[in-house]
Each structure stands twice: as structure tokens, then as C-alpha cells.
Structure 1
Amino acid sequence: MTGLPDLPLSSIDRETYRAVASDGEARAGGDVERLVSLGLIAPDPDREGQFIAHDPRAAVQQALSQVQEMIAGAAQCMADLPTIEGLVPAYDAHRWYSGPVSELLQSRDEMNQRIQQALRTASSEMWTAQPGAPVDRDPEVQRTGMERVLELRGRGVSVRSVYNVAVRDHAPTVGHLASVVEAGAEVATLEELFPRLVIIDGTHLFIDNCIPAGGEDRDAGWHVTDRATVAWVHMLYQQLWARATRWQDGDVGSETLTERQKAILRALEEGEAQHGVGPRLGLSERTVTKEIAAARTAVGAQTVYQLMAWWGRRQAEA
């Protein structure tokens, strides 16, 4: 790509041109090389050391051509930038941190649209946490949610949701979630406080806006794609899930055992040693022992073995 013309002209350059145009003699101290490059003058082939003046209008046209060529080249360069940017996925695929790391989505509609975009290419999981109290939702909204679950499960995507335990006393939600579980999704409830979030394929994280500025929609949120952050929240979600009560378990002995006791029994059922249950659930060993004893009393079991046998029968019946 040709460079820009060597401008502007100095006052000495202009005087040099006038001198050449008058008698062919370059003015002492004038930059004749610049004037030659601009097409304003040229060496006189018949007189050594002399120059011939050219029409400045022709020099203007030459300069314009150079500028236009450079503008065209810059425009082509701008047009090619998206092609270069398209190589970003190949770069991010081999580095631990990806970017941009987060984006603020200003409204609920923007959040929902971005989540739907991420779900179109989901291949492994959609895990959600919904801490809000149950509300009477539009049947159309529930129908759309069910269609999404069926579509994701049809693609082999794991669908897992944790809800506020209050949903178990809300008849419309109970019916909807029972259908969701029947469709192959996993649902659990939790009594403790937890944040609202959505994780898709371990690469997309959607969370509430915890740093609001004045006037922002309270339903605004963040789309986070930093791999380390998403992986960390993914780990926390698994801990949350381990403490929650699966939907099928809630109707069996829900008045007999507490949520904490059920979480302990699930950990034991999955093969965790009793001394390992505490660190897994964030409880002290003394608390675990106390809760197991309370659970034995609640179901009439004399030993931990009898308690686990009772628990196993309950799971088989669910």
C-alpha cells in the first residue's frame, strides 16, 4: 500500500518551486527531493544541476491518487478484521482464561435472549438455581419451559434445577415440576439461602447483577464466560446440589427427616464414609453424628445399618 504524500510544503519548498519554474535553478537550501517525489519538479536531462517545473495540478492529482489508494487499502483492512477476530475461538480453546470475561445485560429480556442463544448449542448441561418464592406463572410460560426441557433432554443435555423448598407447597408449581422430572430432568429443593444462577455447558454463567448502578433494571444480570470463574461456580453448584433434597425424596418422609439429615443419608448412600460427610456438606463431624442419631430416632432404626436400609427402601419406592 502506497504511503501518504510527503506534505505539507514549507515556505522554502514553495520558494524553491517558484525559482525552478522561473529559471530552472533550485533555491539554495530547498528540499528538491521532496518536490521531485511530489511530481512538482524533475531533473533537466539536458542541463546538469537544473530542474524542470511540472504543472502543480498534475501533482495534486498524483497526491489524490495516493490518498485514495491508501483509503481504499484501509477500508479493505477494516473489512478483513472480522476474519481475524473469527480466529478467537481457536485461541481461547487452548488457554485457561477466555475473554471477554463478562458482559452486563441490562434487562430480563436481554438475559433471557442470551440464555436462549447459549442453549441452542448446549451439548452437556443446563444447571439452574431458582431461590425465589413460587408464583402463579402463565401456563404458556410453563408450556414453553417444558418444551425446552424436552428438547434439551432429547439432545442428551443434563437438566438440573434447585428450587426454594417453598415450591413444594405451591400446587401449580408442584404439578409443573412433577412433569419436568417425568421428562427426565433432575429437580431438588433447598431450605437455605442460595443465589440465582444458570450454568450452560460449564462455559456460560448467568448471574444477578450484584453491582447495580442507579436506574438499572433490577432483573439485569451478567453473562460470564471466564473459564476459571465458571468452573468455580460449577463446583459450588455441585455442593449446593449435594445438600438439596431431590424432588422424589420430598414426598417420602418429608415430615420425618430434615433437609440436612436427607443430605447426609444421600452422601452415605453414594459411598461417602461417615467421617467424609462433614467436609463434603460443610458440617462438623460432631454435627453429622448428632444428625444421624436424630434420623435413627425419627425412623425407629437402632443402628446406622438399619437407617440406611430404611432409606434404601424409600428410594426404591420413589
Structure 2
Amino acid sequence: MGTLPDLPLSKDDLETYRAVAAGGAPSAGHDMDRLLGLRLITADPYKPDRYIAHDPRAVARRVLTDTQAAIGQALQCMTELPAIEGLASAFDPTRWYGGPGSELLQTRDAMNARIGETVRSASSEMVSAQPGAPVDRDPAVQRLGMDRVLDMVGRGVAVRSLYPAAVREHAQTRAHLDAITAAGAEVATLHDPFPRMILIDRTHLFIDNHVQPDERDRDAGWHVFDRAGVAWAHLIHQQLWARADRWNDKQASEGVLTERQKMILRTLDEGESQQHVGIRLSLSERTVTKDIAAARAAVGARTVYQLMAWWGRQTAG
């Protein structure tokens, strides 16, 4: 588009032109660029610091021609606005706010590799929620997890991890969590159920494969980059953390299950069906079902069978 002339002229510009047209010198210190740009004056090649005036009527005609051309171009641009606005149907506004979305990682190895890569680049924070029942792990694997936490804490990364209350009764996991809390990580336990998640720098979120929950490979998971999704998951973690018991809370360490929950499990262990436990203990079926669900959540068991297997380990010997 053509450039419009530098107008309007100032009072000093007008007085300077009149001075030059009368054969005099321009006002001392006055900026001559506007008058030169309009070609109302030109520098005198024979007299330094003096100028030659030109016919202002010719300049006015040229300015009028340039302005008319610019107006024509502006009108042409305005006629194109509907076509530009019509592109709105092809624009996905969520991409601007959400980012690229997420990626399905098909195997446990792929998940672990991606998590490890992201953890190594963490700069401010890693928070996680690990709802699984505690199990004895290969000491080498346990040490790898310990080294990862120690490296992050050493780099100034805040580490906060949430576990089911059952880890308080599992010797190997308890020793591991004692060590990482001593190094500066934060740990808490929760009796209620919660989802598995790992959040890094409030930018990366790793979750289980809830999109295809019936797939054979239950170790598949999602790496989520969507800003809204990651922020929402971080809020959920904060709410879970607020209800959890801190690792060094002695009162929380006294017991994973309530006495009534233990009584129900003892009755199930003696061979009673879930339907007959309530009759034997004078409890409603709803109460039994609710307590069993709470006990499963407390120990990180997905099924009643897993819950009873955990109970068997606690009462063995």
C-alpha cells in the first residue's frame, strides 16, 4: 500500500517554508525533513544550509493523487475482510490455549523411557500419585528410583509423592520413603482411592490408559501436554494432598484400616461370603460394601482378591 504523506504541517513548518520562499534562511534548529519529504523545498547545491522553494500547488496535486491511490487500496482491503473472516471455520481456538494435546505410549518401556527423559530435564517440580499396592521390588530397581529422586532434590526440584496408606505396613517401601523424605522429598499417604499420575514442571502429565481401559497391555499410558488438562490434574493432586497424612505423622502411622474393616476382612478370611458378612457382624450390606471399598483404596488393591491377598500377608505368622 502507498505511503501517505507526512501531514499536517506544523506552524513552524509553514513559517519555515515562507522564509525559504522569500529567499531567507530557515529558522535555526528547525527539522527540515517534513518539508524535504513533501518536496516543498530542496537543498541549494550552491549555498550550504540554504534551500530552494517549489510550487506548493504542484505538491498539493501530487499529495492528492497519492492520497486517492491509498484510499483506493484501503477500500480494496476492506472488500477482502469477509473472505478473511470466513477462514474462522478452519481455526481451532483450543490449539492456541491447549498446545499439541497428548501421545499414547504403548508399552511400559516406552512410558518409563519418556518419564525418565522428562524427569531428567525437570527444573522446578515433580508431583506424583502412586495408588498401587506395595510389593517387594528388585533392589536395583528400588535404587534407581532412589537415585532419580536424589538427583532431582539435589538440583533444587521440589518432589512430592502420594501413596496409599498400605505402604506404611510394607517394610521395603517404608525404608525407601524414609530415605527420600530424609533427603528432602515430601511424601503423604491417603486412605481414599485416587488416580495414578506424574506431573513435571506443570507442563507434562503422565496417566494410565483410560481411553482404552480394556486393552491387554495395561502398562500403556498417555503423555499429556495439553495446558488445560495438565493444570486440571495439578489441581486434583493439590486437593488429594490436602486430605492426605504426611509421612512423619505418627497418628497416621498407627493403622491402615479401621477396626471394623479389619473385622470384616477377618470374617471373609474365615470363609464367609461377602453377602453373609453383614449378617454375621450385624452390619448392613451397604456398610460392608462401603468398608470393603474403603479398605481396597487404603491398601491400593483393585479387587477384593488383591485385598485379601494383602490381608493374608499382614496376618501370616
TM-score where L is the length of structure 1: 0.49
TM-score where L is the length of structure 2: 0.49
